[in-house]
Amino acid sequence: MESRTKLLGHPIHPMLIVLPLGLLAMAVVFDIIYLVTGDETFANVAFWDITAGVIGGLAAALFGFIDWLAIPKDTRARRIGLIHGTGNLVIVLLFVASWLLRVSDHAYSPNLVPFFLGLIGVVLALGTAWLGGEMVYRLRVGVDDGANLDAPSSLTTTTSTSTRRPGAGATR
């Protein structure tokens, strides 16, 4: 099943998830560095990483939700997509709570609650990322119907109608 929202022939949702995922994970890394060094610069960087990560996560969620609505009801993909999306919403909410606790003072020592909220969010993200991978790589959600190892560029208007198995005829 192909994605409903595309840019230059590629699904938008997977394009958008990379930045917020990286920013939110790096916020936790910078929190750890701050906790070890006490250098408030790292706490401030973590705060701004969370700010941008939450905004990017909400943008990615919008396109993911549009794609999810197109998945046929009563399918495994629809159920996994619901868990994936709900889990990602929980992650964003954890980081929003962490952000709100930091607003008045980006260097939040000795309060560790914002750090632990982010840490829980990153751990949950490992699971929701796996679910996203399960949808794409196992269930082929968002994959172009004409995809195969010899498919033409996504920038062309033609699609491959080859029924050849991916990898068939390849030399080893």
Q: What is the pLDDT of residues 83-126, one digit of tens each?
A: 999 999 999 999 999 999 999 887 665 578 999 999 999 999 99
In whole angstroms, give the CA distance from residue 43 to residue 103: 11
Beta pairing, strands 10-11 & 6-7: antiparallel
Residue indicated by tokens 């706490």: 43
Share of the chain above pLDDT 90, in %: 52
Share of the chain above pLDDT 70, in %: 80
Indicate the range of 3-7, 81-85, 136-140 predicted with least confidence. Answer: 3-7
Backbone φ/ψ region at 15: left (φ over 0), alpha (ψ -120 to 50), beta:
alpha
